[in-house]
Each structure stands twice: as C-alpha cells, then as structure tokens.
Amino acid sequence: MIIAIDGPSAAGKGTIGRALALKLGLHYLDTGSLYRMVGFEVMRNNADPADSQACASIAQSLNVGSFNDADLRGEKVGSFASQVAALPQVRHALLKFQRDFAAQKPGAVLDGRDIGTVICPDADYKFFITASVDARARRRALESPSTEIAAIKAEIEARDARDSNRNVAPLKPAADAVIIDTSDLSADEVLTRVLSVIQP
C-alpha cells in the first residue's frame, strides 16, 4: 500500500503522515528532508544553489543517514531546499531513493510536493493537505516564537511561489487527490478524515 501526501509547507503533512504510518504499520518518508539535506550541504559548502551540476553532484552522493535532524529544520535550510528542488538534475538524483522506499513491504506513506504526481503516480491513496497562509504562519510561529509572524508569512509565500511555479514537478494536487484544507482542523480531525477515506 502506498499513500501519497502532498501540499505546501506547514500545512500539517508531516504530522498526518507520521500518525498515519504509525496507525497502519507502514514505513514513513518525509521527502522534504531529502531536499533539505541537499540544501544544507549546498549551504555548508558555500555552493551556488543555482549551479545544477554542483547541486546534482551533492544530491547523488548524499548519505541520508548522516544528518542531524535539528540541522535540517529552519527556514534558511528550507529556502535552500526549495531552490535546489527546482533543478531537474537534483530531482532526478533523488527519484530512485524515493521509489525504492515506496516499494518496501508492507507499504509506505510519503509526504512531499510531487509524490502523487511524479514519484508514485499509481499510489493507492493520494491526499493534498493544504491550509491558508495565515494558518500556516501561525503554526510556524508556535515553533519559533522569536520570529516575527509577518516575516514567517513572507517566507512561506516566497517558498509557495517557488515550489508552485517551477517547471519541473511543481507543487499541485494530483487529479485524483483528496484535498483537505486543515486551516480550521485539529491534527486529530485531519487524521479522522484521512482514515475515513482509507478505511471507509
């Protein structure tokens, strides 16, 4: 069983993906972390996030087990991740790892931007989890109380625009995805909705 969860940043994909995988006994992959690993390495090596050759070579030699989760969080790495994610060579370098992960028994939940459209177009279930920019900014502000909410909102909008307008695998719902707006829903309510689709 493969469950694809796509959507913009801070919409609640990770929370739902993890809870769903736990509940159904499936593997879970946050594919954004792969792009964050590439972004983090680009940043650390002072490489140019627009240099497709340099970024692809980092993506090809990524040792996914070697990163500290805390280093990957934060909007700065997120912004680098979003820039390298627009490069087709980087996306190509990360494709096999994601497809192999999805093929594991007994199944997997993957969250990202292009899981239902590109990585697993034949997924058994596809969800597009979204929320208003204000709701997402409020959630991010709870995680980093020292940052101005207006700044968080601007970063989210910039990342949405880059992820949605790129030429390759842009952020968009698959034609057969169930769209859930989580702006006014708790994590439990979202999980209940998702489960009602999978186990009607």
H/E element, 99:
helix 88-102
H/E element, 87:
none
Smallest gap, in angstroms, from Cβ of residue 82 to ligand DC? 3
Smallest gap, in angstroms, from Cβ of residue 37 to ligand DC? 10
Smallest gap, in angstroms, from Cβ of residue 38 to ligand DC? 9
Smallest gap, in angstroms, from Cβ of residue 200 to ligand DC? 27
3-state secondary structure of 5: strand
**Residue 99 CA: distances (Å) to CA of 28, 57, 109:** 13, 20, 12
Smallest gap, in angstroms, from Cβ of residue 86 to ligand DC? 8
Residue among 165 and 186 whose Cβ is closer to ligand DC:
165
H/E element, 129:
strand 125-130
Residue among 54 and 98 whose Cβ is closer to ligand DC:
98
Residue among 5 and 26 whose Cβ is closer to ligand DC:
5
Residue among 67 and 199 whose Cβ is closer to ligand DC:
67
Phi, psi torsion values for 132, nearest 5 degrees: -65, 155
Q: How many CB atoms lie within 10 A of CB 71?
A: 13
Please identify which residue in the block is written with the tokens 């708790």. 186
Distance CA 17, CA 10 (A): 13
Residue among 54 and 112 whose Cβ is closer to ligand DC:
112
Contacts to ligand DC by CB under 6 A:
9, 31-32, 35-36, 78, 81-82, 85, 112-114, 159, 163
